[in-house]
Every structure is written in C-alpha cells, then in structure tokens.
Amino acid sequence: MAHPFPPTLADVGRLAGVTAATVSMALHNDPRISAKTKERVQTAAEKLHYRPDPMLSALSSRRKPESKRRVLANIAAIVDDRWMKVSKDWVEDLLQFMKVTGQHLGYDLDVLYVERDLASTAQPDRLLRGRGIRGMVIFPLYDGELHVELDWDKYSVIALGIHAIEHNFNRVGSNAFMAMNITCQHLYELGYRKVGLAHVLDQEKRTRYEWIGSLAKESYRRPTRFKIVKPYLPDDFTESKFIDWVRKEKPECVITSDERAVSFLRHAGYRVPEEIGLSLLTPSYETPEMTAGVGQHHSQIDATAIEQLHGMLMRGECGIPKMAKETLIHPLWINGPTVRQVR
C-alpha cells in the first residue's frame, strides 16, 4: 500500500542512516557532505520517491548569498544541553528548519545552550544583549525548568512543545491528543479491536497525559470501537516487564512512544505485524526501521514558531504574557510495515 502522503526528510534519513538535516544538505549538494553520503541519501530518496517540501524549497531559495535581505534582529534558539547526550538528532532537525524560516523573514538565528552558554555566565542578559538578541525560541526543556534567571521583559519568547515549563510563554507544538485520535482511527480501519498503550510514565507527563486521555475516551464512544487493555506505564521501560504485560493483556496492537518495543516483541518471538501490530506515537531517527505511527512534521512546527515570534517582535510584545497563546500542529499518519496493510 502506498503512503497516504509523501515521505519526509526524516523518512529518507532513517533509511539512509543519517539525520534529516544531513539529508537536506546532501540533496542541496552541500560541499560539507561526503560524496559517499550524498550517494546513499540519493538512493534512499529515490527508493522512497521523495519529493522536496514545496514550502521549504521556497524558503531555501531565499538563502542564496546574492540575495539581499535586511536583518531585522538577532533571535536565539535556547537548547537544553542534556538533550545532546540523549537524542540530539531531533534538535539538529528543528534547528535546520528554523534557520531557513528565520532567514526568509530577515533574522539571524543564534544557537545558545542553557548550561554551556547561559548558566555559565553571571550575567546572561548581558550575553544576550551583546549578541543583539531580541527574541528567542525555547526548545523543550529536559525537566521543564530553565535554571537561568533572565529579565524576560526584554525579550519576545516562543516555547516549543506542550511540556509544561517554568514560565507560561506563548507556545507552538504538536497536537498530542489528536495524535492518538488519528492513531485510533487508522488502527480501527485496519481491523484492530484490542489495543494497549505502553511506554514510560514520563512520556505521558511530557504530553500533559493527552495520549492516555485521548485513548481513554475510546471506552466512552458509542458504539465502542476498541477494547482498551490496562496500560503499561512504568517509570522504567524494560524488555522483560513489557513482554510480561503483552502476554498477560494480549493486545492486538501496541501503541507506544518507545521505538525499542519493535525489537522487544521480535526478540520474544512475536511476528510483527502478523501476530501483533505496533504503532509509534513519536517516530524518531533512532527507530531501527520504518514503522507505522504519527509524524510530528517539524518543518511546520518550526516555521509556525518563527512566524509567531516575528509577529511578536513587530508588535513589541515582550515578557511573560498574562494569557498565553498555544498553537498546535496536527500530526499525520505514517503507514509502515509494523501494522496490517489494507488489501
């Protein structure tokens, strides 16, 4: 069955074994990418029938050195250093898209790390002022706290993601509640009638419990579509306890945000998707293979964040808002070999 929508940079990156940012650079013949990597990326792109995102292509065309643009201000992406030790590819992906949109609107994007750059200085505001920073996009924080004291009245701020952070800034993120809605709709259409949610509880906290909340509503639909088994939401997602849960609850399809679940099931002797299906809520670059699930479309999230920051700067909106605004981008279903296919 063909994909319901064109493959993304992330899809090509997973197949080629590189990041989405590397895919973008390779397809634009960037001299920093080796010929061998370019060839591998091109082969993956052709295999998936990848076509460039029209929006990003239009924005990229504005980046030519000969094009004259007026720099309105410097803006900064504030990144939590701890992600770089855990899963840095998605950070690099977001930064790539953000730089494209920012340059299109006339901004230079500075990347600053919380611990390395801001917390290490006694006067972080002075550092930001010295770089001409007037606006910033705060990337998702590892524990929800910035650990840096700033004079927020000097800056326009947009937060990425829906995970609660210390200050209630305007934010742009993916719609977690809708992600589960979309997942359930497609699993129902594929014939699944018994599903279960399994991943660490911290993932639910990061999405404001919207995944489990959206799944719970299925029990109240009339007519009901699924039997929802007891979820497996431990503090530590381990292979043995996950498989114990699968054997006890016997879901026809597992919904999870942990990409290791595929290998856990196969290592335990389950045939995926013949005996059990699996759908990822957050396909990532660490996923060992193409999987079914919902994609977050970072390009749309990033473009929207920069556009909203631009509007705030033009209007002179600074500081922590009394009533924060939240913009949620709908994810889209990604068909994959870990669920049944429509015949």
DSSP H or E stretch at residue 333: strand 332-334
Q: What is the pLDDT of residue 10?
A: 75
pLDDT in tens, 194-205: 999 999 999 999
Residue 96: DSSP 8-state = H
Among 35-49, 58-72, 164-178, 211-225, where is mean pLDDT lowest?
58-72
pLDDT for 112: 95
More confident residue, 69 or 315: 315
Residues of the chain with CATH 3.40.50.2300: 176-296
pLDDT greater than 50 at residue 269: yes
Token pair 């290791």: residue = 260
Q: Considering the entire predicted model, what is its pTM? A: 0.77
Given a cut of 90, is residue 36 above it in pLDDT?
Answer: no
Query: Which of 108-117, 252-261, 266-275, 295-304 comes out lowest in average pLDDT?
Result: 295-304
CA distance 168 to 143: 15
176-296 has which fold?
Rossmann fold (3.40.50)
Residue 289 is predicted with a pLDDT of 55
Average pLDDT over residues 66-85: 74
CATH architecture under which domain 1-52 falls? Orthogonal Bundle (1.10)
pLDDT at position 4 over 70: no
Tokens for 38, please give them: 């370019």
**Numbered ranges of CATH 1.10.260.40 in the chain:** 1-52
Q: Is the pLDDT of residue 330 over 60?
A: yes
Query: Average pLDDT over the chain, rounded to whole?
Result: 86
pLDDT value at 62 more than 60: no
Side by side, the strands of the sheet bearing 253-256 are 227-228, 194-197, 253-256, 277-280, 292-295, 332-334
pLDDT at 45 over 70: yes
User: Would you state the pLDDT for residue 147?
Assistant: 83
Q: How far apart, in Å, are the Cα atoms of 67 and each of 55, 61, 64, 213, 323?
A: 18, 9, 6, 49, 39
Give pLDDT tens digits for 227-249.
999 999 999 999 999 999 999 99
| Residue of higher predicted confidence among 7 and 152 | 152
